């Protein structure tokens, strides 16, 4: 990591460990078509997260292989979760304590999915596949699972999912208290300002609508198209408690007071 960023609770003490749920969010570059480099960077981020006793680390969308405009290239750079190749990925991250959310191109039979896998101590405990698709060669995911770590429930939305209320609302109705939102954004420079403001406002809306904390992770990309990052952590009121800013390689960290997470059952679920 060339830079890190955290709130004041950088390395929580014993009391803080018991009263908080600690989340980390990666923002940084990616070498597409190079899963080994992506996995090494992920392991570096996991080491950083473990030093701060984080419960969950969120990496960006399709971070393992990259995000491709054609099905042929995405298929070439994809992985079957039943394969020995994926078993090796799990083995590489098995020594870390933090629950890992890792974006990848998933090959499932003849279909491709834009998926985030949830790995704990080297064991795949679940996955979420993107519902609102940008590239139509992906097959749409129709499940909205909720996961639990140390008594806190969380769910995942991926990039464009955050532009609509339904995925986040379903997760909240199923008890999620935190929603993780990995992205892979790159665009012409003239579109950046509008995109940054729109996406941030979408996430603020999702937090307010659901009463959930929202944790965003994004890539940095340099070229004809740019990816500026703007990862952040929002509280249940949509307020920014931690922000990476633009074009800065960093890992966000925040110790969320458990008292601020709210119950897993919301009043409007009735």
Q: Render pLDDT for 159-204 as a digit per residue (tens, 0 to 9).
A: 999 999 999 999 999 999 999 999 999 999 999 999 999 999 999 9
pLDDT at 98 over 80: yes
Q: How far apart are CA 155 and CA 24, in angstroms?
A: 15
pLDDT at 95 over 70: yes
pLDDT digits (tens, 9 = 90+) for 40-53: 999 999 999 999 99
Q: How far apart are CA 251 and CA 243, in angstroms?
A: 10
- Going by C-alpha positions, the residue among 8, 86, 89 that lies closest to residue 42 is 89
Beta-strand pair 227-228/56-58: unpaired
Q: Which two tokens stand for residue 99?
A: 């629950």
Under the banding of pLDDT at 50, 70 and 90, the label for residue 269 is low
pLDDT at 5 over 60: no
- Which of 50-59, 63-72, 129-138, 254-263 bottoms out in mean pLDDT, i.e. has the lowest? 254-263
Under the banding of pLDDT at 50, 70 and 90, the label for residue 14 is low
pLDDT of residue 11: 64
- Containing 183, the helix (H) or strand (E) segment is none
Mean pLDDT, rounded, for 131-148: 98
Q: Are 184 and 218 in contact (CB under 8 A)?
A: yes
Q: Residue 93 has what DSSP assignment?
A: T
pLDDT of residue 128: 98
pLDDT of residue 263: 77
What does pLDDT average to over the chain?
A: 94
pLDDT of residue 223: 94
At CA 80, angle to CA 77 and CA 82, rounded to 5?
160
pLDDT digits (tens, 9 = 90+) for 215-268: 999 999 999 999 999 999 999 999 999 999 999 999 999 999 999 997 776 766
């Amino acid at each position: 990591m060339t830079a890190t960023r955290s709130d004041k609770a950088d390395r929580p003490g014993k009391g803080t460990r018991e009263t908080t749920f600690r989340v980390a969010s990666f923002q940084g570059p990616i070498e597409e078509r190079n899963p080994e480099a992506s996995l090494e960077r992920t392991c570096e981020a996991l080491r950083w997260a473990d030093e701060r006793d984080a419960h969950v680390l969120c990496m960006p969308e399709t971070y393992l292989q990259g995000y491709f405009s054609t099905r042929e290239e995405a298929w070439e750079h994809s992985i079957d979760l039943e394969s020995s190749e994926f078993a090796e990925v799990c083995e590489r991250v098995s020594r870390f304590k933090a629950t890992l959310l890792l974006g990848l191109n998933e090959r499932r039979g003849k279909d491709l999915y834009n998926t985030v896998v949830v790995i704990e101590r080297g064991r795949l405990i679940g996955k979420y596949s993107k519902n609102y698709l940008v590239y139509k060669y992906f097959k749409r995911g129709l499940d909205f699972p909720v996961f639990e770590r140390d008594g806190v429930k969380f769910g995942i939305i991926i990039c464009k999912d955050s532009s609509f209320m339904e995925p986040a609302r379903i997760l909240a109705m199923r008890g999620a208290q935190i929603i993780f939102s990995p992205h892979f954004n790159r665009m012409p420079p003239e579109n950046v300002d509008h995109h940054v403001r729109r996406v941030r406002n979408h996430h603020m809306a999702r937090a307010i609508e659901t009463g959930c904390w929202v944790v965003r992770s994004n890539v940095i990309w340099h070229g004809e198209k740019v990816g500026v990052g703007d990862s952040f952590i929002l509280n249940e009121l949509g307020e920014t408690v931690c922000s990476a800013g633009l074009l800065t390689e960093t890992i966000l960290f925040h110790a969320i007071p458990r008292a601020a997470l709210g119950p897993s059952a919301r009043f409007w679920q009735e």
